[in-house]
Amino acid sequence: MVKMPVAKNIELVGSSSKSWEDAVNAAFTEAKKTLRNIRRIKVLGYSAIVEGDEIKEYRARVKITFLVER
């Protein structure tokens, strides 16, 4: 019998004081500390924290897909 790969998705929120791209990279950096076989990152949305007239924190909500090991 051929074993088919099984994938799992998790959602994370990354944050950065620099940019949304850095926020996505922050989420990925944290995910790869504990997950192996990451195959895909999908950006689900962006948001920002504003204080005064400035963006103080960029946030990116991402879905990370990885293969389950057996």
- CA-to-CA distance for 25 and 23, rounded, in angstroms? 5
Mean pLDDT (the chain) is 95
Task: Note the pLDDT of residue 21.
Answer: 98
The one-letter amino acid code at 32 reads K
Domains of the chain, earliest start first:
7-44+52-67 (3.30.1660.10)
What Rg do the C-alpha atoms of the chain give, in angstroms?
15
Residue 14: CA atoms inside 13 Å, Cβ hemisphere, count?
25
- CA-to-CA distance for 34 and 11, rounded, in angstroms? 14
Q: What's the whole-model pTM score?
A: 0.88
Residue 20: CA atoms inside 13 Å, Cβ hemisphere, count?
10
30-54 pLDDT tens trace = 999 999 999 999 999 999 999 999 9
